[in-house]
Structure formats: C-alpha cells, structure tokens
C-alpha cells in the first residue's frame, strides 16, 4: 500500500485536474472498504473523493499533489472512524 507521500511523488510531473485524477485512481486501487469497520456497506474512497471535490467547489484551498493526498487521507480517516 502506497503512502500519501509516495502517491504525490508518483504524480508530481502532472498538474491540475490531471494530477487529481491520477491521485484519485491510486486511492481507488488501494480502497479497503471491504474491511472493518465499513464492511463494504459503501465505498469510503469514493465518498472521500466526493467530499473533497465538493469542498474545492465551495472554495476550500486544497492544492494538487501532497496537500490533496493529505486531504483525502484525513477525509478517509474521518469517514472510517466516524462509522
């Protein structure tokens, strides 16, 4: 499983929407929503991506790359631990 730093480094040559798309794809491939405590009831990664996307549309200053990865990690943690 890749860390946020590794994912950001793998996509650092990209920018803007392309970088975000690739980061999202890395996280989707690593999705573990089938494990506890979610047990496949929903896809935690997709839910986190949608929340971050919505926050950015509403004006949240979340940059590409590592900052975006950290935002996804934090949102995933909040989703999984909040269940």
> What pLDDT, on the 0 to 100 scale, is given for residue 83?
60
* Percentage of the chain exceeding pLDDT 70: 99
- Report how far residue 60's alpha carbon sits from residue 13's, in angstroms, rounded to the nearest whole number: 23
> What pLDDT, on the 0 to 100 scale, is given for residue 23?
97
- Report how far residue 83's alpha carbon sits from residue 50's, in angstroms, rounded to the nearest whole number: 17
- Report how far residue 70's alpha carbon sits from residue 40's, in angstroms, rounded to the nearest whole number: 23
> What pLDDT, on the 0 to 100 scale, is given for residue 82?
87
Q: How do residues 24-55 score in pLDDT, each as one tens digit?
A: 999 999 999 888 888 889 999 999 999 999 99
**φ, ψ (nearest 5 deg) of residue 64:** -70, 175
pTM beyond 0.85: the answer is: yes
> What pLDDT, on the 0 to 100 scale, is given for residue 1?
86
* Percentage of the chain exceeding pLDDT 90: 83
């Amino acid at each position: 499983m890749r860390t946020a730093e590794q994912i950001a480094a793998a996509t650092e040559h990209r920018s803007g929407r392309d970088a975000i798309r690739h980061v999202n794809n890395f996280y989707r491939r690593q999705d573990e929503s089938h494990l506890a405590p979610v047990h496949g009831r929903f896809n935690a990664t997709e839910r986190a991506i949608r929340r971050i996307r919505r926050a950015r549309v509403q004006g949240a200053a979340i940059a590409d790359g590592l900052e975006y990865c950290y935002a996804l990690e934090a949102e995933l943690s909040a989703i999984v631990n909040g269940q």
